[in-house]
Structure 1
Amino acid sequence: MKDISLVRFLPKEPKVPFINLRMFAAALSVLAILASIYLFSTRGLNYGIDFTGGTVIELDFGEEPRPDDIRSTLADLGYAGGTVQNIAPPKSENKSYDFVRVGIPLQPETGDAGATAQQDALKAVEAGLAEQVGPYKIYSQDVVGSKVSGELRTKGALAVGLALLAVLAYIWFRFEWQFGLGAVMALFHDVILTIGVFSLTQIEFNLSIIAAILTIVGYSLNDTVIVYDRIRENLRKFKKMPLPEVLNLSINDTLSRTILTSMTTLLALVSLYILGGSGLRGFSFAMIWGVFVGTYSSIFVASPLLMLLKLKRGVNTGNAEAAEA
């Protein structure tokens, strides 16, 4: 049987000069980080109802919903910040079409006036949809208050921060402090660029995107740890080889694994993005971006940072004296 595996198309011993490209990569990363910070500070993020508060209603139009018509209706009514999302009905419903979830942002008033304003907005949207889109049945209705949405924003940021701290502690314990700091700096790079691309595209930023960012942290860390483990192994094996050569050798040793893992992951994510519907589009887009940026940072950020942090051969990386003892 003919071998059609992808492995045979990859060089067995690649010799790509990644470390020689570190200055170009560093300039590119710095520019991308500055651009992300600028976009976030000027445009911000398109927060979903989870983070802004508001009312979410699920509607059954008795046929396949028309999201564009619903969005234009919300815009005509003055609720351009509203969200529209197709959702599959429960299996028990035996429906052959999707429902639609409509999110109405929380109105600016506070206290009793705010509650009244939110109710008025809900009534206006319901009347407008019935008039311009067609009759429907309300399947469910949920309200997310400003206090709850504020807590979700805080806890989402806290979850990402604690994940990065846990990574720093583990890598520091498992390797040396230079590895831990390099891994966390690479993960910060990935998170900032992900926030920047969401600020640029204005794709809705909700709790599912927080879950995607945490998944990106795990994926990128997995790539980085594999490269770091090979670096540590080669430092023990080649005790007199200069550090830049050891880093380049280690990256090339793990290159085929990195390419194959990234490509197979992307196949699943692209399928999810195309076929998963609008409900999963934001999450899958974040993951696709995360695979690209995570692979890039493992090669061009995490490893060259070890040179900047002046990694030396120690107990955990292969000291000649320690080996003789």
Structure 2
Amino acid sequence: MIDFLKYKTAGIIFSVSLILYGVFAYFNQGGLKYGIDFIGGAQITVSFEKEIDIAILRKAISEQGWQDAVIQSIGKTNKEFIVKLGGATVEGLEDKFRDSVDKATPGNTMVIKNIDWVGAEVGKDMQQNAIMAVLLSLLAILLYLAVRSKFAYAAGAVVALAHDVLVVLVALLLTGEPMTLPVLGSLLAMLGYSVNDTIVIFGRIKDNVGKMKDRSLLDIVNTSINQTLRRTLLTSFATLLSVITFYILGGESLKGFSFVMIVGIIFGTYSSIYIASPVMMFFSKRAGAKSA
């Protein structure tokens, strides 16, 4: 049997260090990057007469000051694209965009098929709604688990979920991946996946407390983690393979979503063992307590 909780202190130190580094990076880099859903901007649909290398299109756009533009190819041929320009303003945008692309693609006629705008105020409202959605999700999970079981279990699960959210935000910050609506959706989906891992372990702990009355809570938790380990790893590995496939083959539109799920699955499995369980034990008054 693996003594997982032997390393709980090291796990907590690692997590706290990672999050503190993320806080430092946040202030050093000026915060997260946001897509047009959250800061406003323009979404431009364009088509070309001939195929074009997306790198040429990206370079032409970045030279006009839109370094963080998101470009997605539509269809199997590189003739039609969706270009998202965060923070872009209405005045003069179409002419500026057309001039920069036409200079980079001589002899390849471009047609601007559509321009959709998201206002800055709407984007700000979306940011606030996104934060509220995550906080309400955590609160709902806390209340549900507190009703279904003791507060110690609810606290352990919610602290682990908050940890997972912070780790994902640190990953987004360090990689420069922008926060978009698909990324937010992936973050909420990741919360559901992560809490499921924790509930499986906690369910086994509650069962074993009644069966192992002569053993300490520390031993019971370790035993329970080992008993559920195979199921946890197999489920996580299978899901991880699917999400990695999306990340590699899904194109630009799925990269943010897949990236969050990859980080969330890895750290969700980790936090179920090294965050949720120690926190549950802490709130159970003492490591040897038999209450569950």
When the two chains are superposed, the root-mean-square deviation of aligned CA atoms in Å is 1.6
Determine what percentage of the aligned residue pairs are the same residue.
Answer: 34
Aligned to 1:53: 40
Aligned to 1:128: 100
Q: How does 1:82-231 map to 2 (within 5 A)?
A: 82-88=69-75, 96-97=77-78, 99-107=80-88, 118-133=90-105, 134-231=108-205
CA offset at residue 83 of structure 1?
2.3
CA offset at residue 203 of structure 1?
1.2
Q: How does 1:232-271 map to 2 (within 5 A)?
A: 232-271=206-245
* Contact 1:55–1:144, Cα closer than 8 Å, also in 2: yes
Corresponding residue SS for 1:57:
strand
Aligned to 2:28: 42
CA offset at residue 207 of structure 1?
0.9
Q: Say if 2:54 is the partner of 1:67.
A: yes
Moved over 3 A (4+): 62-65, 95-98, 311-314
Which of residues 241, 260, 266 in structure 2 aligns to 1:292?
266
* Contact 2:198–2:276, Cα closer than 8 Å, also in 1: yes
Which of residues 16, 40, 47 in structure 2 aligns to 1:30?
16
Question: How many Å separate the matches in 1 of 2:221 and 2:77?
Answer: 55
* Contact 2:243–2:262, Cα closer than 8 Å, also in 1: yes
Question: How many Å separate the matches in 2 of 1:118 and 1:55?
Answer: 8
CA offset at residue 77 of structure 1?
1.5
CA offset at residue 219 of structure 1?
0.6
Which of residues 247, 252, 257 in structure 2 aligns to 1:273?
247
CA offset at residue 96 of structure 1?
4.7
Question: How many Å separate the matches in 1 of 2:87 and 2:220?
Answer: 55
CA offset at residue 86 of structure 1?
2.0
Segments of structure 1 that go 5 or more residues without pairing to the other structure are: 1-14, 89-94, 108-116, 318-325
Question: How many Å separate the matches in 2 of 1:274 and 1:290?
Answer: 17
Question: How many Å separate the matches in 2 of 1:162 and 1:98?
Answer: 42
Q: Deviations over 1:91-118 (max 9, x none)?
A: xxxx7556211122335xxxxxxxxx52
Q: Deviations over 1:261-317 (max 9, x none)?
A: 011001111111111011101110111111101000001110111222235444xx3
| TM-score (norm. length: structure 2) | 0.93
CA offset at residue 208 of structure 1?
0.8
CA offset at residue 48 of structure 1?
0.9
Structure number with larger C-alpha Rg? 1
The AA in structure 2 aligned to 1:204 is P
Q: Say if 2:280 is the partner of 1:306.
A: yes
Question: How many Å separate the matches in 2 of 1:192 and 1:35?
Answer: 11
Q: Deviations over 1:219-260 (max 9, x none)?
A: 100000000000100111111210110000000000000110
* Contact 2:33–2:176, Cα closer than 8 Å, also in 1: yes
Corresponding residue SS for 1:103:
strand
The AA in structure 2 aligned to 1:276 is G
* Contact 1:186–1:301, Cα closer than 8 Å, also in 2: yes
Change (3 A) 1:62 1:313: farther
CA offset at residue 119 of structure 1?
2.5
* Contact 2:33–2:177, Cα closer than 8 Å, also in 1: yes
Segments of structure 2 that go 5 or more residues without pairing to the other structure are: none
Question: How many Å separate the matches in 2 of 1:248 and 1:306?
Answer: 13
Q: Deviations over 1:147-188 (max 9, x none)?
A: 110111111111111000000001111110011111100001
| TM-score (norm. length: structure 1) | 0.84
The AA in structure 2 aligned to 1:273 is Y
The AA in structure 1 aligned to 2:275 is V
